[in-house]
Copies of this chain bind each other. A is one copy, B any other.
Amino acid sequence: MEITTTAPILTKGRNPVEPEKLIRREPVDPSAFKRMIRQMGLKVTQQRMAILESLSAGRAHVTAQEVFEMVNAKYPEIGFATVYRFLRKMAEQSMVTEVRMGGLPARYELTPRRHHDHLTCVQCSQIVEFESPQIETLQEMVAKEHNFRLTHHVLELYGICPRCQTE
């Protein structure tokens, strides 16, 4: 593979922004990405840097395909297998969080500092994040009751968002 030809890999442009789901993560400098990758015990490659770049710049809850397209727009030489592989590796190490809704393709987000769950509109797919420490606590209690050691959980609420209700 070759990413030779042009300029530094990190040409700092801006990415198209979705109307409502705005960028909401703090800017991350390249050395932070490198640290992340090394922390996972992996080699720092240009493709992985590019993937992290796109992932952190774009909106949250993207599919692997969407990540691939973002990356591919900037670096057409990068193949989708690389994107899938890296996402999987990161998911294994909890560097990204995988959210699966029904039979739809998995969506990923860089694991947020604060844990949260999702409230999804079944009509327009809008995703609202929420936190409920009370629910978390109850979950722990349920696990304890059955003598399970809890590793993680999936809580997805589905409904109709305010806007879709009026239509």
Which residues of chain A have a CB within 8 Å of any CB of chain B? 98, 100, 102-103, 106, 119, 121-122, 128, 130, 132, 134-135, 138-139, 142-143, 145-162, 165
8 pairs of A and B residues whose beta carbons are closest in the complex: A148-B159, A147-B162, A150-B159, A154-B156, A149-B160, A153-B157, A135-B138, A151-B159
A151 nearest CB across to chain B (Å): 5
Contact of A146 among B122, B130, B134, B146 (CB under 8 A): B130
A102–B156 CA distance with the chains assembled, in angstroms: 13
Which residues of the other chain, B, contact A153 by a CB distance below 8 angstroms? 155-158
- Known A142-B119, A153-B155: A102·B100 in contact at CB below 8 Å: yes
Which residues of the other chain, B, contact A152 by a CB distance below 8 angstroms? 158
Which residues of the other chain, B, contact A130 by a CB distance below 8 angstroms? 142, 145-146
Supply 20 A–B pairs (Cβ within 8 Å), ascending by A: A121-B148, A128-B146, A130-B146, A132-B142, A135-B139, A138-B138, A143-B157, A146-B161, A147-B162, A149-B160, A150-B157, A150-B159, A152-B158, A153-B155, A153-B157, A154-B154, A154-B156, A154-B158, A155-B155, A155-B156
